[in-house]
Chain A
Amino acid sequence: MAASQENESDMDFSDNDCYDYNNYYNDDDSDVEHVDPMKVDPEYFEYRCLSEEEVERLLNESVESLSNCLRISPTLAKVLLHGHHWNSNEVIRKYKDNPSQTIIWAKINPPSPQSIMTSNYYTCPVCVTPQHVEKFSHLPCGHKFCKDCWITHFEVQINQGISTSISCMAKDCVVLVPESFVLMHLQHKTNIREKYQHFVFQDYVKSHPELRFCPGPNCPIIVHSREIKAKKSICEQCKTAFCFRCGCDYHAPTDCQVIKKWLIKCADDSETANYISAHTKDCPKCHICIEKNGGCNHMQCYNCKHDFCWMCLGDWKSHGSEYYECSRYRENPNIAHESVHAQAREALTKYLHYYERWENHSKSLKLEEQTLEKLRDRINEKVMSGLGTWIDWQYLFASANLLAKCRYTLQYTYPFAYYMDAGPRKELFEYQQAQLEAEIENLSWKIERAETTDRGDLENQMDIAEKRRTTLLKDFLDV
């Protein structure tokens, strides 16, 4: 095998031509007036949407440069890179330090070399058929099996979705089968070979921290970023927005682990939380039944015109400005002394408080999408009857989009707050969250009444809401 030969040769290395300084994005650090874009926009993120072919090229470049640098075969370079999360520098460091041990760790060579058997006939230990030695092949470990058995082994493994982790068939042998060995045996098996190559590519992308498959349905795009952070990437092809680090729905300011914990909790507790999903509530003043049909949580009773908050049923006047208490959960300070039952009840109440708001903003987002549709129809009518052009009304769509963006962030502040420890930082967070919430509801209220709202007034409200959102992210988005 090619791989086993290379590590035997003695090699000289020059330090200066090896390391991977190749900069994909050419960030120009020498520019003194360069402003850190993160300071302006806490969600700033540089990434590129690549096709499968582009990613293949990118991977091949890494393989080639490593193989040139260490003077090893591309096969070996590829296995080493895959085994080290495509970190060339780490491979180079380890390889220079101890080439033979590195190859053993990568499960390319066995820890102890095997004796090569010399007779012409040999019984394959798998199919127990005696055959001529030409019918056999082996990996660097020296475990010989007939080629038909290797092929069947590969077929069985590949049909189970296994590719880069296929290993030797011998008992207790950890040596992995490199891509070239598999492909050589599957020369005449086009279908299974293609399946294999597909799985191998998936494995490479998944093991590469700078690459992430677009989670959009059937989308072939792969996002590439040098910065491995929980930032928002939007697929150019299918427009799916997702967190680059975990591949789930974008979740700022909450981090990847916390949102995962939260979503699991919500799924586990969905029974308990179900009762809140009612679409109707009673007006707190005249007790007439009110159905929510827009996204805005500032409700006005159609009967008595009382203004109230859909979430807490409190008077809206207390919500409009300054510090409002609706988003905040007040913990019972004496809870530690209460009974187990009381503590369990308190824990549930606390969870429901956050869950209700999380769920409500998610629903509001959907309802506001419908509002946007209605808005589109109304504007269409206006344009048809000569009241301005589409361009004149463009600002309304901009405001609806901004509202969606702000409400999305607001929705994800609730799991963040739920898991936050009590203290001054949480107080600051809840203060900012409350302010953001108030401005979002103002914006929503104004958009629902868009035609009668002054354009300047609306644009001003957009500006305020976005500022509140950015401030909160600047202070609390920690990625």
Chain B
Amino acid sequence: MANIAAQRIKREFKEVIRSEEVAKCAIKLDLVDNNYTELRGEIAGPPDTAYEGGNFVLEIKVPETYPFNPPKVRFITKIWHPNISSVTGAICLDILKDQWAAAMTLRTVLLSLQALLSAAEPDDPQDAVVARQYKENVEMFRLTARHWTNAYAGGPNANPECDEKIKRLVDMGIEEHQARVALSSYNWDLERATEQLFS
């Protein structure tokens, strides 16, 4: 079976490299080892979303039973999204679980993840905190996602207000990422975030 996996990945690797999405810089695939068991994917944040302008790096592990079982994929770049864990980068997406089909490819996976960035499914959350914010205050969610894209994925849209609040917490001795998580979780309410961090 491992033989089929390597054979398939080799073929898919070429397929992605040649695809038109690569030409448009929308998706990218790199080998991490020479056994075709681990790859590094990259997707561009879709236009007209909070992720626009960001580049998101993915860890792709190919199981021995590939393509009969799906690849194991997670975000390495930190991201604020209801279906992606802001802590571990774990993804909740049906085709990476029971809706996987052996005829699907890594290209399908990358494009589906990109589609997931355009259309979140808050009713099937991976990150409960993000999903709640998405449902209760979608504007706050967009602002936060855009800020994370700027902070971690090289997105162009900086938000001075957010940066200022983070700096206030960093000055109090809080680690930057921890400060960002607390503020993001409390809708950028500095007082409540502080309370939580020091409780």
Instruction: Please report A residues at the B interface, Cβ cutoff 8 Å.
Output: 125-129, 143, 145, 149, 152-153, 156-157, 167-173
Closest to A172 in B: B101
Cβ–Cβ < 8 Å partners of B4 in chain A: 126-127, 149, 152
Cross-chain contact B102 with A126 (CB below 8 angstroms): yes
What's the Cα separation between A170 and B101 when bound, in Å? 6
Cross-chain contact A125 with B69 (CB below 8 angstroms): no
Cross-chain contact B65 with A156 (CB below 8 angstroms): yes
A-B CB pair tally, cutoff 8 Å: 41
Q: Which 10 A-B pairs have the closest CB atoms?
A: A169-B102, A156-B68, A126-B102, A125-B103, A128-B11, A170-B103, A127-B4, A171-B104, A171-B101, A171-B103
Partner of B8, one of A127, A145, A153, A156: A127
What's the Cα separation between A395 and B108 when bound, in Å? 74
**Contacts A127-B7, A128-B7 given; 19 further ones with Cβ under 8 A?**
A126-B4, A126-B8, A126-B103, A127-B8, A129-B7, A143-B103, A145-B102, A145-B103, A152-B68, A153-B68, A153-B102, A157-B68, A167-B101, A169-B102, A170-B101, A171-B104, A171-B108, A172-B101, A173-B101
B1 adjacent to chain A (CB < 8 Å): yes
A186 to chain B, nearest CB (A): 15
| 19 A-B contacts (beta carbon < 8 Å) | A125-B103, A126-B4, A126-B8, A127-B4, A127-B8, A128-B7, A128-B11, A149-B4, A152-B68, A156-B65, A156-B69, A169-B101, A169-B102, A170-B103, A171-B101, A171-B103, A171-B104, A171-B108, A172-B101
Q: List residues 14-71 of chain B with CB under 8 A from any CB of chain A.
A: 65, 67-69
What's the Cα separation between A173 and B69 when bound, in Å? 16
A178 to chain B, nearest CB (A): 18
A135 to chain B, nearest CB (A): 15
Closest to A162 in B: B98
**What does DSSP make chain B's interface, helix, strand, loop or mixed?**
loop
**What does DSSP make chain A's interface, helix, strand, loop or mixed?**
loop
A155 to chain B, nearest CB (A): 8
B112 to chain A, nearest CB (A): 10
Question: Residues of B within 8 Å of A, CB-based: how many?
Answer: 14
What's the Cα separation between A149 and B103 when bound, in Å? 10
Closest to B5 in A: A127
Closest to A170 in B: B103
Cβ–Cβ < 8 Å partners of A167 in chain B: 101
What's the Cα separation between A167 and B104 when bound, in Å? 14
Closest to B63 in A: A156
What's the Cα separation between A156 and B65 when bound, in Å? 8
A91 to chain B, nearest CB (A): 26
Cβ–Cβ < 8 Å partners of A153 in chain B: 68, 102
A199 to chain B, nearest CB (A): 16
Closest to A165 in B: B98
What's the Cα separation between A247 and B72 when bound, in Å? 36
Cβ–Cβ < 8 Å partners of A152 in chain B: 1, 4, 68
What's the Cα separation between A149 and B3 when bound, in Å? 12
What's the Cα separation between A153 and B11 when bound, in Å? 20
Cross-chain contact A128 with B8 (CB below 8 angstroms): yes
Closest to A126 in B: B102
Cβ–Cβ < 8 Å partners of B11 in chain A: 128
Cβ–Cβ < 8 Å partners of B101 in chain A: 167-173
What's the Cα separation between A173 and B102 when bound, in Å? 11
Cβ–Cβ < 8 Å partners of A143 in chain B: 103
What's the Cα separation between A254 and B65 when bound, in Å? 47
What's the Cα separation between A149 and B65 when bound, in Å? 11
Cβ–Cβ < 8 Å partners of B7 in chain A: 127-129
A95 to chain B, nearest CB (A): 28
Closest to A143 in B: B103
Cβ–Cβ < 8 Å partners of A173 in chain B: 101
What's the Cα separation between A126 and B108 when bound, in Å? 14
What's the Cα separation between A152 and B8 when bound, in Å? 15
Cβ–Cβ < 8 Å partners of B69 in chain A: 156
A211 to chain B, nearest CB (A): 26
The proximity string for B residues 128-142 relative to A, scoring 1 for CB distances below 8 Å and 0 otherwise, is 000000000000000
B83 to chain A, nearest CB (A): 20
B174 to chain A, nearest CB (A): 32
A77 to chain B, nearest CB (A): 27
What's the Cα separation between A397 and B85 when bound, in Å? 61
The proximity string for B residues 67-85 relative to A, scoring 1 for CB distances below 8 Å and 0 otherwise, is 1110000000000000000
